[in-house]
A and B are shown apart, each in its own frame.
Chain A
Amino acid sequence: MHLYNLTLQPPTAITHAIAGNFSGSRQQEIIVSRGTRLELLRPDVQSGKVLTVIASDVFGCIRSLAAFRLTGGTKDYAVVGSDSGRIIILDYDPKTSSFVKIHQETFGKSGARRIVPGQYLATDPKGRSVMISANPTYAALEVDYSESDQDPTGEAFNNAEKMLTYYELDLGLNHVIRKWSEPTDPRANMLVQVPGGQLASSDRYDGPSGVLVCCEDHIIYRHMDAPQHRVPIPRRDHPLQDPDRGLIITAAVMHKMKGAFFFLLQSEEGDLYKVTIEHEEQDVKSLKIKYFDTVPVASSLCILKSGFLFVASEFGNHYLYQFQKLGDDDNEPEFSSASYASFGMADPTSPLPRAYFRPRALDNLTLVDEIESLCPIIDSKVMNLLPNSDTPQIFTACGRGARSTLRTLRHGLEVEEVVSSDLPSIPNAVWTTKLKEDVQQIGPDALLQVHPHGIRHVLADRHVTEWRVPQGGTIVCATTNKRQVVVALSTAELKGMGSTVLALSIAEVPEGRQRTPYLAVGCEDQTVRIVSLDPESTLETISLQALTAPPSAICIADMLDAGINKSQPTTFVNIGLQNGVLLRTVLDPVNGQLTDTRTRFLGTRPIRLVRVQVQRNPGILALSSRPWLNYTYQNFIHFTPLIFENLDYAWSFSTELCPEGLIGITGSLLRLRQAGKTIDDEVVNLPPEIFGRPKAPAGTWASCIRIINPVEAKTVNVIPLDHNEAAFSIAVVPFAARGGELHLVVGTAQDTFLSPRSCTSGFLRTYRFMKDGQNLELLHKTETNDVPLAVMAFQGRLVAGVGKSLRLYDMGKKKLLRKVENKNFGSAIVTLSTQGSRILVGDMQESISFAVYKPPENRLLVFADDSQPRWISAATMVDYNTVVAGDRFGNVFVNRLDPKISDQVDDDPTGAGILHEKGILAGAPHKTDMLAHFHVGDLVTSIHKVALVAGGREVLLYTGLHGTIGILVPFASKEDVDLISTLEQHMRTEQGSLVGRDHLSWRGYYVPVKGVVDGDLCETFAQLPANKQSAIAGELDRTVGELLKKLEQLRVTASGPHDPNAFFAVYDGHGGDATAKYAGLRLHHRLADDYEYRCQRYPSALRNAFLGTDAEMRSMKEFARDRSGCAAVAALVTCDNEIYAANAGDSRIVLSVAGMAKELSFDHKPGHPREYSRIKAAGHGVTDGRVDGKLAMSRSLGDFVYKDLGHDPTLHAVTSDPEIKNHRISCEDEFLVLACDGIWDCLSSQDVIDTIRFLLSRQIGLQKICEEICDLCLAPDTFDGDAGVGTDNMTIMIVALLNGKSEKEWHWWMSERILRRNGLPQIYNPARLERARAMREARERERERQQAAKFYEMFAEPRGRVPADDVDRMQVV
Chain B
Amino acid sequence: MSSELRYTANTQLEHLHARYTGTGHADLTKYEWLTHQHRDTLASIVGHPSLASYLALADGEAVGRIKFEMTERMLQPCGPPPAKDD
Interfacial residues of chain B within 45-86, with CB under 8 A of chain A in the complex: 46-51, 53-54, 56-65, 68, 71-72, 74-76, 79-84
Q: Given A149-B81, A268-B61, A962 and B50 touching (CB < 8 A)?
A: yes
B75 touches A61 (CB 8 A): no
Choose among B19, B54, B65 the residue with the greatest number of A CB atoms under 10 Å from its CB: B65
B21 contacts partner chain A, Cβ-Cβ < 8 Å: yes
Query: Which residues in A have their C-beta under 8 angstroms from that of B83?
Result: 152
Choose among B20, B48, B58 the residue with the greatest number of A CB atoms under 10 Å from its CB: B48
B51 touches A939 (CB 8 A): yes
Contact code string A108-138 (vs B, CB < 8 Å = 1, else 0): 0100111100110000000000000010000
Identify the 10 closest CB pairs spanning chains A and B, nearest first: A250-B64, A112-B47, A114-B43, A268-B62, A154-B80, A152-B83, A939-B50, A15-B49, A189-B68, A35-B49
Complex Cα distance A1239/B32, Å?
79
A754 touches B54 (CB 8 A): no
Query: In whole Å, how far is B61's beta carbon from the nearest beta carbon of chain A?
Result: 7
A selection of 24 A-B contacts at a CB cut-off of 8 Å is A13-B49, A35-B49, A61-B47, A61-B49, A109-B20, A112-B43, A114-B43, A115-B19, A118-B47, A119-B46, A189-B64, A248-B64, A314-B56, A376-B57, A696-B60, A698-B59, A888-B54, A889-B48, A890-B48, A890-B50, A938-B50, A960-B50, A961-B53, A962-B50
Q: Given A148-B75, A152-B81, A152-B82, A962 and B49 touching (CB < 8 A)?
A: yes
Seen from chain A, the residues whose Cβ lies within 8 Å of a Cβ on chain B are 13, 15, 35, 61-63, 83, 109, 112-115, 118-119, 134, 143, 145, 148-154, 157, 160, 187, 189-190, 248-251, 268, 297, 299, 314-315, 375-376, 378, 400-401, 695-696, 698, 754, 888-890, 937-939, 960-962
Choose among A250, A315, A888 the residue with the greatest number of B CB atoms under 10 Å from its CB: A250
Chain B residue total in the interface (Cβ 8 A): 41
Which of B22, B46, B51, B79 is the one whose CB lies under 8 Å from A115?
B22
Contact code string B21-36 (vs A, CB < 8 Å = 1, else 0): 1100000000010010
Q: Given A13-B49, A13-B53, A157-B80, A248 and B68 touching (CB < 8 A)?
A: yes
Query: In whole Å, how far is B79's beta carbon from the nearest beta carbon of chain A?
Result: 8
B58 touches A63 (CB 8 A): no
Query: Which residues in B have their C-beta under 8 angstroms from that of A143?
Result: 75
Query: Which residues in B have their C-beta under 8 angstroms from that of A145?
Result: 74-76
Known A114-B39, A152-B83; 7 more pairs at CB < 8 Å: A61-B49, A83-B47, A112-B43, A153-B80, A189-B68, A268-B62, A890-B48
Which of B19, B53, B84 is the one whose CB lies under 8 Å from A314?
B53
Query: Which residues in B have their C-beta under 8 angstroms from that of A13?
Result: 49, 53
Query: In whole Å, how far is B85's beta carbon from the nearest beta carbon of chain A?
Result: 11
Choose among A62, A378, A962 the residue with the greatest number of B CB atoms under 10 Å from its CB: A962
B12 contacts partner chain A, Cβ-Cβ < 8 Å: no
B10 contacts partner chain A, Cβ-Cβ < 8 Å: no
A314 touches B76 (CB 8 A): no
Q: Given A148-B76, A150-B81, A189-B68, A113 and B63 touching (CB < 8 A)?
A: no
Seen from chain B, the residues whose Cβ lies within 8 Å of a Cβ on chain A are 19-22, 32, 35, 39-40, 42-44, 46-51, 53-54, 56-65, 68, 71-72, 74-76, 79-84
Q: Given A61-B48, A83-B47, A962-B49, A268 and B81 touching (CB < 8 A)?
A: no
Complex Cα distance A151/B21, Å?
19
Complex Cα distance A756/B36, Å?
21
B65 touches A250 (CB 8 A): yes
Complex Cα distance A145/B36, Å?
12
Complex Cα distance A143/B83, Å?
23
A112 touches B48 (CB 8 A): yes
B75 touches A157 (CB 8 A): yes
Query: Which residues in B have their C-beta under 8 angstroms from that of A157?
Result: 75-76, 80
Query: In whole Å, how far is A730's beta carbon from the nearest beta carbon of chain B?
Result: 18
B80 touches A251 (CB 8 A): no
Query: Which residues in B have their C-beta under 8 angstroms from that of A250?
Result: 62-65
Query: In whole Å, how far is B18's beta carbon from the nearest beta carbon of chain A?
Result: 11
Query: Which residues in B have their C-beta under 8 angstroms from that of A150?
Result: 81
Query: Which residues in B have their C-beta under 8 angstroms from that of A251?
Result: 64
Which of B19, B60, B81 is the one whose CB lies under 8 Å from A695?
B60
Query: Which residues in B have their C-beta under 8 angstroms from that of A401?
Result: 60
In the complex, the chain B residue whose C-beta lies closest to that of A940 is B50
B57 touches A400 (CB 8 A): yes
Complex Cα distance A15/B81, Å?
36
A268 touches B64 (CB 8 A): yes
Complex Cα distance A119/B48, Å?
10
Query: In whole Å, how far is A759's beta carbon from the nearest beta carbon of chain B?
Result: 15
In the complex, the chain B residue whose C-beta lies closest to that of A82 is B47
B65 touches A962 (CB 8 A): no
In the complex, the chain A residue whose C-beta lies closest to that of B58 is A754
Query: Which residues in B have their C-beta under 8 angstroms from that of A83?
Result: 47-48
Complex Cα distance A154/B75, Å?
12
Query: Which residues in A have their C-beta under 8 angstroms from that of B21?
Result: 114-115
Query: Which residues in B have their C-beta under 8 angstroms from that of A190?
Result: 64
Choose among A83, A114, A150, A376 the residue with the greatest number of B CB atoms under 10 Å from its CB: A114
Query: In whole Å, how far is B69's beta carbon from the nearest beta carbon of chain A?
Result: 9
A149 touches B49 (CB 8 A): no
Complex Cα distance A314/B81, Å?
37
Query: Which residues in B have their C-beta under 8 angstroms from that of A268?
Result: 61-62, 64-65
Query: In whole Å, how far is B60's beta carbon from the nearest beta carbon of chain A?
Result: 7
Complex Cα distance A61/B42, Å?
17
Query: Which residues in B have their C-beta under 8 angstroms from that of A314?
Result: 53, 56, 62-64
A375 touches B53 (CB 8 A): yes
A152 touches B80 (CB 8 A): yes
Query: Which residues in A have their C-beta under 8 angstroms from that of B54?
Result: 888, 939, 961
In the complex, the chain B residue whose C-beta lies closest to that of A14 is B49
Which of B40, B58, B80, B84 is the one whose CB lies under 8 Å from A114?
B40
Complex Cα distance A376/B72, Å?
26
Complex Cα distance A66/B54, Å?
24
Query: Which residues in B have their C-beta under 8 angstroms from that of A109?
Result: 20
In the complex, the chain B residue whose C-beta lies closest to that of A701 is B60
Query: In whole Å, how far is B17's beta carbon from the nearest beta carbon of chain A?
Result: 11
A112 touches B44 (CB 8 A): yes
Query: In whole Å, how far is A153's beta carbon from the nearest beta carbon of chain B?
Result: 7
Complex Cα distance A15/B47, Å?
11
Which of B39, B53, B72 is the one whose CB lies under 8 Å from A315?
B53
Query: In whole Å, how far is A593's beta carbon from the nearest beta carbon of chain B?
Result: 50
Query: In whole Å, how far is B45's beta carbon from the nearest beta carbon of chain A?
Result: 9
In the complex, the chain A residue whose C-beta lies closest to that of B82 is A152
Query: In whole Å, how far is B23's beta carbon from the nearest beta carbon of chain A?
Result: 9
Query: Which residues in A have their C-beta under 8 angstroms from that of B50?
Result: 35, 890, 937-939, 960-962
Choose among B47, B71, B79 the residue with the greatest number of A CB atoms under 10 Å from its CB: B47
Query: Which residues in A have their C-beta under 8 angstroms from that of B32?
Result: 149
Which of A114, A115, A153, A297 is the one whose CB lies under 8 Å from B62?
A297
Choose among A109, A151, A378 the residue with the greatest number of B CB atoms under 10 Å from its CB: A151
Query: Which residues in B have their C-beta under 8 angstroms from that of A113?
Result: 40, 43-44, 47
A695 touches B49 (CB 8 A): no
Query: Which residues in A have their C-beta under 8 angstroms from that of B42?
Result: 114
Choose among B35, B43, B83 the residue with the greatest number of A CB atoms under 10 Å from its CB: B43
Complex Cα distance A770/B79, Å?
54
Complex Cα distance A15/B48, Å?
10
Query: Which residues in A have their C-beta under 8 angstroms from that of B62?
Result: 250, 268, 297, 314
Query: In whole Å, how far is A234's beta carbon from the nearest beta carbon of chain B?
Result: 17
Query: In whole Å, how far is B21's beta carbon from the nearest beta carbon of chain A?
Result: 5
Complex Cα distance A695/B61, Å?
8
Choose among B20, B56, B75 the residue with the greatest number of A CB atoms under 10 Å from its CB: B75
Query: Which residues in A have their C-beta under 8 angstroms from that of B49?
Result: 13, 15, 35, 61-62, 962
Complex Cα distance A151/B79, Å?
11
Complex Cα distance A937/B35, Å?
27
In the complex, the chain A residue whose C-beta lies closest to that of B80 is A154
Query: Which residues in B have their C-beta under 8 angstroms from that of A154?
Result: 79-80
Query: Which residues in A have their C-beta under 8 angstroms from that of B39?
Result: 114
Query: Which residues in B have their C-beta under 8 angstroms from that of A149?
Result: 32, 35, 76, 81
Complex Cα distance A63/B48, Å?
7
